[in-house]
Amino acid sequence: MGWVNDMALPRSFKRALWVFHIATGSCNGCDIEIVAALTPRYDVERFGIMLTGTPRHADVLLITGPVTRPMLPRLKRIYEQTPDPKAVVVVGGCGSTSGVFYESYNVVGPVDEVIPVDVYVPGCPARPEAIIDGVVKAVAKLETLEKSGVSG
């Protein structure tokens, strides 16, 4: 896979990157693409990128969908529970801009109206390559934070 080498993964990865996935109101289109990134065709786990079951172990929050009202306090709480340094990646058009749910009665808004976002991965749904690229960009952000000694 040439595009993997283009992203300079071996150079950037000093350790395994654990990712916590949150669906804040997604139609599950982007969620399925995240799962596709884990399948043998893309197999991100060989690079150490792994989905974890708790934000307490996560380096990156991968968020899909616009933020619905029931998910608002939960998203805030999960963000607070993630240890520093952390990076937030929004996957898909809905999380980035609310997409087709823009100004919907039960949608608070895009993710960046609730928590700070580091990387946007556009698409409806976003392709697995784009999701992996977004996570790699989050790695760069994390390394910058670690070098500067900032803990979040």
Partner 1 sequence: MNGLTSGFGAWNPIAWALLFVGILVVSFIVRSRGNKSYKRGSGQTKVFLSGNEEPADADALHVRGDHLYWGMVDGLSAYYRRVKAWHTGIFSDYVAWFVGVLAVVFVILVWVG
Residues that bind partner 1 (CB under 8 A): 22, 54-56, 71, 73-75, 77-78, 80-85, 151-152
In the bound state with partner 1, the residue whose beta carbon lies nearer, of 46 and 76, is: 76
CB of 108 to partner 1, least distance (A): 15
Task: Report the chain's terminal Cα–Cα distance, integer Å.
Answer: 33
21 Cα distance to chain centroid: 7
In the bound state with partner 1, the residue whose beta carbon lies nearer, of 46 and 56, is: 56
In the bound state with partner 1, the residue whose beta carbon lies nearer, of 39 and 54, is: 54
CB of 79 to partner 1, least distance (A): 8
CB of 56 to partner 1, least distance (A): 6
In the bound state with partner 1, the residue whose beta carbon lies nearer, of 63 and 132, is: 63
The Cα 34–Cα 44 span in angstroms is 10
**Helix/strand number for the chain, H first, E second:** 6, 7
CB of 65 to partner 1, least distance (A): 14
In the bound state with partner 1, the residue whose beta carbon lies nearer, of 15 and 41, is: 15
Q: How far is CA 143 from CA 91, 126, 151, in A?
A: 21, 25, 11
CB of 54 to partner 1, least distance (A): 5
Element (H, E) at 60: strand 60-64
Are the CB atoms for 2 and 43 separated by under 8 Å? no
